[in-house]
């Protein structure tokens, strides 16, 4: 026998050699098992081993969460596909506590202290591949949103930062004024007919037209036509469920999803919608390019011209060309309207559901008009931010319903980190969702689930501010934040001084769809012109 040649006890190597030999003999003597038996057996064995590993030996094995989430990402994929992930997450944290395992290698964290650790500038945490399905494949550099390389992201963002700065947006304030006037005019027509409107639609048309004015010096025509101009909104509505589901899939599965999905009409339409948005943004850039080419004067001071200025002044040095200009425009098409519209709609919806807050805010606005503090016909941003109750209502609306409704996932950096009192090893996926952390009772009080603007006048308001996360944090904070804040602060007093707004069906809640952007719909509203309701009393100083 093979083994008897050795005087010493057999080693593992010898045993395994022998076993291998015997296995070969056995295998060659027995007829091969049929494939239909072998494959399922292998699959079952694989799954059993995987389940034991993820539940017992994985570094996240000790964290609670739904059983299926701990063994497969399919749980998260299906949850995101349902469009209400923030609601599921709230229930999970209520059941399992501040750290919940939402996928075999990922946890959602509800502890507000985690924000500083994960999202502060230079925290070392990096974006995960979650963001890649949003990436435009035609760029030379990844866009700011999907860039996973922190150093390159900082360099590229610095090039365009000035165009998005509040000082630049304020210089373009007239563009927002034009849209505000158009919105009031159009809603006055609706009020005159007594028609109920879906305020969520109007606000999104408004937000899209503001992007048109700010970037290209012309509204797209959403409000003018009272419709989804060019089908951009429909395109986004088709695209976002598809993209957000792809975001939570493992990378290898995304390709399968894309290829096989192209045969499913809905997914095919979503892919076409992406092309549609790309063509629309390209057309806007091409139009300006032809103006430049015609050698005629281009007296534009809009954001698009700001990007072209960068291209002319520092294009070569910074490697910033027309493709990069297109990338900024494309980003605004994707991120510029759903986000701002969700914020404005949330503030108005919660005000209409809270008559005492609504009355207090209109009183503040009316008094500011009477005292001559607010200008007319359009309210200026620097005036609006001086209205303290308005500021409280804006924060409260964005706190209860942040426009981005999923966790912002990050990789734990080299060496691991302690988050929420727990150790996480390098590479683990962790994330915080603004929709969860902004309702934390320890920070915002026992009434955190309610719309209470008064909380922003309490002693701990400065502390609460530190835990507001609706625009993200650190180096990855939203670059469009100033655009949105300027819009929000200006349009709200403009609307409330012009109209009395009431929910058409006060007992019915709005509907929201959370596909990264948490989009509100069905905010059916009755409008009445305040001048008709109350006479001209509050506007008398203007006469």
Q: Which residues bind ligand HEM (CB under 6 A)?
A: 144-145, 157, 331-332, 335-336, 339-340, 343, 403-404, 408, 470-472, 476, 478-480, 483-484
Count the residues in the chain: 543
How far is 410 from 401, CA to CA, in rounded Å?
22
Indicate the residue among 395 and 526 with the shorter CB distance to ligand HEM.
395
CB of 244 to ligand HEM, least distance (A): 12
Residue of this chain nearest to ligand HEM (CB atom): 480
Question: Angle at Cα 382 formed by Cα 381 and Cα 388, nearest 5°?
Answer: 95
Burial of 505 (0-12, 13-18, 19+ CB in 10 A): exposed
478 annotated as ligand-binding: yes
CB of 405 to ligand HEM, least distance (A): 10
Indicate the residue among 273 and 329 with the shorter CB distance to ligand HEM.
329
Indicate the residue among 226 and 475 with the shorter CB distance to ligand HEM.
475
Indicate the residue among 330 and 444 with the shorter CB distance to ligand HEM.
330
User: Which stretches of 82-149 are DSSP H helices?
Assistant: 85-96, 114-119
Give which of 358, 423, 320, 317 is closest to 99, Cα–Cα: 423
CB of 139 to ligand HEM, least distance (A): 13
CB of 534 to ligand HEM, least distance (A): 31
In the numeric block, which tokens belong to residue 337?
């309207």
Residue 393's contacts (CB-CB under 8 Å, 6 or more residues apart) are 347, 350, 351, 357, 361, 453, 492
In the numeric block, which tokens belong to residue 58?
């994985």
Q: Is 514:342 a contact under the CB 8 Å cutoff?
A: no
Indicate the residue among 366 and 456 with the shorter CB distance to ligand HEM.
456
CB of 298 to ligand HEM, least distance (A): 22
How far is 496 from 490, CA to CA, in rounded Å?
11
CB of 483 to ligand HEM, least distance (A): 4
The radius of gyration of the chain's CA atoms, rounded to the nearest angstrom, is: 28
CA–CA distances in Å: residue 351 to residues 119, 390, 477: 31, 11, 27
How far is 346 from 505, CA to CA, in rounded Å?
16
How far is 85 from 88, CA to CA, in rounded Å?
5
CB of 144 to ligand HEM, least distance (A): 4
Residue 165's contacts (CB-CB under 8 Å, 6 or more residues apart) are 482
How far is 512 from 521, CA to CA, in rounded Å?
6
Indicate the residue among 65 and 480 with the shorter CB distance to ligand HEM.
480
Indicate the residue among 343 and 361 with the shorter CB distance to ligand HEM.
343
Q: Show binding-site residues for heme.
A: 478
């Amino acid at each position: 026998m093979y083994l008897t040649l050795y005087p010493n006890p057999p080693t593992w190597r010898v045993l395994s050699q022998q076993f291998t030999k015997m296995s070969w003999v056995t295998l060659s003597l027995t007829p091969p098992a049929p494939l239909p038996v072998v494959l399922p057996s292998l699959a079952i064995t694989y799954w059993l081993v995987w389940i034991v590993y993820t539940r017992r030996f994985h570094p996240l094995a000790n964290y609670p969460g739904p059983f299926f989430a701990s063994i497969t990402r399919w749980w998260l994929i299906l949850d995101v596909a349902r469009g209400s992930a923030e609601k599921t997450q709230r229930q999970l944290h209520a059941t399992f506590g501040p750290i919940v395992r939402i996928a075999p290698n990922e946890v959602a964290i509800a502890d507000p202290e985690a924000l500083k650790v994960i999202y502060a500038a230079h925290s070392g945490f990096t974006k995960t591949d979650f963001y890649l399905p949003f990436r435009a494949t035609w760029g030379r550099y990844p866009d700011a949103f999907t860039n996973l390389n922190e150093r390159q992201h900082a360099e590229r963002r610095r090039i365009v930062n000035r165009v998005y700065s509040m000082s630049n947006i304020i210089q373009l304030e007239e563009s927002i004024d034009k849209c505000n006037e158009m919105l009031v005019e159009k809603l006055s027509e609706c009020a005159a007919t007594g028609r109920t409107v879906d305020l969520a639609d109007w606000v999104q048309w408004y937000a899209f037209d503001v992007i048109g004015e700010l970037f290209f010096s012309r509204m797209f025509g959403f409000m003018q036509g009272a419709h989804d101009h060019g089908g951009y909104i429909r395109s986004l509505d088709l695209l976002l469920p598809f993209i957000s589901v792809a975001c939570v899939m493992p990378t290898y599965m995304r390709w399968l999803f894309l290829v096989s999905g192209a045969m499913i009409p809905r997914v095919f339409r979503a892919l076409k919608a992406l092309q549609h948005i790309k063509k629309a943004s390209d057309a806007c850039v091409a139009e300006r390019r032809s103006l430049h080419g015609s050698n005629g004067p281009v007296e534009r001071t809009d954001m698009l011209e700001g990007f072209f200025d960068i291209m002319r002044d520092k294009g070569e040095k910074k490697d910033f060309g027309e493709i990069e200009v297109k990338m900024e425009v494309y980003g605004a098409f994707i991120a510029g309207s759903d986000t701002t519209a969700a914020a404005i709609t949330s503030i108005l919806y919660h005000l209409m559901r809270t008559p005492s807050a609504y009355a207090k805010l209109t009183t503040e606005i009316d008094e500011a008009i009477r005292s001559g503090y607010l200008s007319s016909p359009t309210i200026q941003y620097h005036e609006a931010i001086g209205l303290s109750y308005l500021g409280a209502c804006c924060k409260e609306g964005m706190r209860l319903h942040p426009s981005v409704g999923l966790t912002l996932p990050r990789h734990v950096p080299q060496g691991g980190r302690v988050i929420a009192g727990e150790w996480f090893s390098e590479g683990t996926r962790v994330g915080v969702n603004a929709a969860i952390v902004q309702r934390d009772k320890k920070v915002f009080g026992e009434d955190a689930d309610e719309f209470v603007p008064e909380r922003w006048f309490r002693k701990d308001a400065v502390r609460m501010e530190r835990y507001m996360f609706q625009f993200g944090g650190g180096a990855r904070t939203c670059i469009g934040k100033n655009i949105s804040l300027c819009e929000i602060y200006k349009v709200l007093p403009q609307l409330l001084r012009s109209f009395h707004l009431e929910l058409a069906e006060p007992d019915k809640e709005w509907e929201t769809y959370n596909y990264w952007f948490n989009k509100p719909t069905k905010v059916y509203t009755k409008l009445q012109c305040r001048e008709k309701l109350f006479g001209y009393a509050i506007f008398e100083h203007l006469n």
